Amino acid sequence: MHSVPLSLRTRVYPIFMEQLQESVIIDWSGCPLVEVIPGKVSGAPILRETRVPADAIVVNYIGGSPVEEISENFAIPESTISQLLSYAAKQEKNIRL
């Protein structure tokens, strides 16, 4: 089991996943794992060298998916997911639910 801050999960409220995805706002500009490339995935913040939106990882985790499942679903190493979630937890003040 990986050590991932649970502060994101403790902030979950009973809302639909679509609403959750629209309400997660994280400033990814300081995260070395994330890049924004105009024209790639509509310029959304994505994990480097992938097409996986960084917010999709966070939304899945908040929604209850364990790191192992997210890793399998997105073909991203568990260590990368854990690092991304740690960054997101530090940016918690920028997450609005």
Domain locations along the chain:
15-94
Tens of pLDDT along 79-94? 999 999 999 988 865 4
Percent of the chain with pLDDT over 90: 51
Predicted model pTM: 0.72
pLDDT at residue 18 tops 70 = no
Structure tokens at 33: 């794992």
Is the distance from CB of 58 to CB of 85 less than 8 angstroms? yes
| CATH number at 15-94 | 1.10.10.10
Element containing residue 61 per DSSP (H, E): helix 54-62
- Concatenated DSSP letters of 31-93: -TTEE--TTSGGG--EETTS--BHHHHHHHHHTT--HHHHHHHHT--HHHHHHHHHHHHHTGG
User: How many Cα neighbours within 13 Å face the side chain of 4?
Assistant: 26
Percent of the chain with pLDDT over 70: 69
